[in-house]
Amino acid sequence: MARIFITGSAGGLGLNAASALIRQGHDVVLHARNESRLADAGEVREQAAGTVVGNLADPNETVQVAEQAARYGPFDAVIHNAGVYSGHEIFTVNTVAPYVLTALMSRPRRLIYISSGMHRYGTPDLRGIDWTNAATRPAAYSDSKLYVTALAAALADRWPETEVNAVDPGWVPTRMGGPAAPDDLELGHVTQVWLATRSGGDHGSGGYWFHHQRREPHPAVKDAAFQAQLLGALESHTGIALR
């Protein structure tokens, strides 16, 4: 039995992953941005090992989420599932919050970051990056997913005792993906559930996964210079260093 924390798990892929893990007998701690959203989790909330509330678009609340989660730890795995597709909060939720939570929380055995196939359209140019996305750049979502995928690869290189991977769940019909999304919702959470709990064999770390298959990510993801630049930019922006 594993103890697993999932951000953004009151709905969509996060809730589906939580439900699957609970059915398998694992202890799952849910997270939602507010109490109203947490109520949407229904029976899964009742079956969860704990709940954490905090808006990852707010840096102060992100720190509080780390503090709340610590009360339920240590964790065998953390799935950084929370994400947004548009608006000023894209970088804050999709990239900065996973970095901050990773830096502040005790290191689990496994870390899983939700990426997207759209990360391949991101640009690795961090010069003058505006983490608040004040100008609402059209490419911000792709950039944010490139950055979080590179974060996963950087951690895999730096933390050999922790299994770190990124997952593309596909474009699925969740609230964020929209009803016209073409991929299978039932497959959207399966890979991250498997990565969080798999046993036996040497599957390695630092993978970019799509439906149980390793895929090649954007070349910048494995670029050591870009990884270092990204970690430096995140530390400078947040004032929080990786341990």
The band of 200, judged by pLDDT with boundaries at 50, 70 and 90, is low
Residues 144 and 126: their CA atoms lie apart, in Å, by 11
**From 99, 145, 208, 222, the catalytic residue:** 145
Give me the pLDDT at residue 179, please. Answer: 60
CATH value at residue 69: 3.40.50.720
11 secondary structure, DSSP code: S
Identify the CA nearest to 166 among candidates 204, 137, 199, 133. Answer: 204
Whether residue 90 lies inside any domain: the answer is yes
Residue 66 clears pLDDT 60, i.e. is over it: yes
Domain-located, residue 45: yes
Asked if residue 140 belongs to a domain, the reply is: yes
pLDDT digits (tens, 9 = 90+) for 141-185: 999 999 999 999 999 999 999 999 999 998 645 555 556 554 555
Distance CA 28, CA 50 (A): 7
Q: How far is CA 128 from CA 131, 157, 236, in A?
A: 9, 26, 12
* Of residues 111, 198, 101, 210, the one with CA closest to residue 154: 111
Task: Give the type of residue at 114.
Answer: I
Alpha-carbon span 228 to 16, nearest angstrom? 34
Q: Supply the pTM of this predicted model.
A: 0.95
Rounded Cα gap, residues 40 and 43, in angstroms: 9
Whether residue 222 lies in the annotated active site: no
Asked if 111 and 155 touch (Cβ cutoff 8 Å), the reply is: yes
Indicate which residue of 141, 147, 208, 222 is catalytic.
141
**Single-letter amino acid code for the residue at 127:** R
- Catalytic residue check, 141: yes
Return the higher-pLDDT residue of 137 and 38. Answer: 38
**Count of structural domains within the chain:** 1
- Structural domain includes residue 243: no
Residue 42 lies in a domain: yes
Domain that holds residue 44: 3-238
